[in-house]
Amino acid sequence: MRSVQDPVTIDETNITDHDFSQVHLFRRAALNMAVRKERTVLKMTRLFGDRTGLLHARANQTFYLEASATEHSVSKPAVNLRIDKDAEMVFGASLYVIGDGAKATGQITGDSSFTIDGRMIDVTHLFITKRLKSRFLSHAHSADLHNGTLAVSAIGSFVLATFEIQDGSEVFFPDVHGMQCTVGLVHMKYGSVIVADTYRIALTSLLLETGSTITASGKDRPGPYETAVLPSSCRGSGGSYGSKGGKGKVLLASITKCVVSKIRNLIGSITCLNHSF
């Protein structure tokens, strides 16, 4: 099987728009476009794959991936996705991440099925499906098209109606700015994890199932945190809950209770299945 690090590159002289009715990516096949000064566009009406390939949008590029002008459409691309800084992908209103992350091959950093450092457009409901990893980098953000006008969130933040992290999946925010978002419902299923250094979130409802974790603990941080310089506002050796955490965990446990109290004032409801605050 080939490597996703050996992509096919679309590089057509004097052509900036590419429109395909079908694209097939199987057996670690990877597709990108040559980087140009002018914005280049790749539209795919249907994408077929076996979850092993990679679709990579690079700087100054826009990909339309199973996007539709209908009232509600669904994108379920059977590939891994990467959106670089200054790149964007347009999806259906519901996006299901199902790529395999090229697990155990070392071909994709962090075995990430969805790596975003650019812009995702028109996604209202985001689903990270079972036992996958996703990475939201420092320039990741969302945008929505309303009546021909693009409403763009602040760089490093995103707006969603639903953010569902399914059983055993992990979402990393490997940047000191952490997780910044406005979401109607965050639903964390059994064994799912969110890891960030800081959290600036506005939620309507937070649903935590058994074994799910939201953590800022040092031991849970992904690789880049090990040498990152933490902001001056950060104290102690990492967040904790109850008896878990770093140095000073008894003090931090009481701080956690205070934070939870504040969260209750910020969001409509917290539902914890077999959890207690």
- The continuous run of DSSP H or E covering 263 comes out as helix 249-266
The distance of Cα 70 from the centroid of its chain, to the nearest Å, equals 24
Sketch the domain layout of the chain as residue ranges. Answer: 8-238
Three-class DSSP category at 231: coil
Summarize the confidence of residues 262-267 as an average pLDDT: 46
- For the segment 77-135, what is each residue's pLDDT rounded down to a tens digit? 999 999 999 999 999 999 999 999 999 899 999 999 999 999 999 999 999 999 999 99
Summarize the confidence of residues 178-188 as an average pLDDT: 95
Residue 222 confidence (pLDDT): 54
Q: Which of 4-8, 238-242, 272-276 has the highest mean pLDDT?
A: 4-8
- The continuous run of DSSP H or E covering 259 comes out as helix 249-266
Three-class DSSP category at 246: coil
Q: For residue 214, is pLDDT > 60?
A: yes
Q: Do 62 and 55 touch, CB atoms closer than 8 A?
A: no
Query: How many beta carbons lie within 10 A of that of residue 69, not counting itself?
Result: 7
Between 74 and 246, residue with greater pLDDT? 74
Q: For residue 145, is pLDDT > 70?
A: yes
Summarize the confidence of residues 180-199 as an average pLDDT: 93
Which of 72-86, 161-175, 246-260 is least confident?
A: 246-260
Report the Cα–Cα distance between both ends of the chain, in Å, rounded. 48
Rounded Cα distance, 102 and 113, in Å: 8
Residue 197 confidence (pLDDT): 87
- Model confidence at 256, in pLDDT bands (50, 70, 90)? very low
- The continuous run of DSSP H or E covering 254 comes out as helix 249-266
pTM metric for this prediction = 0.82
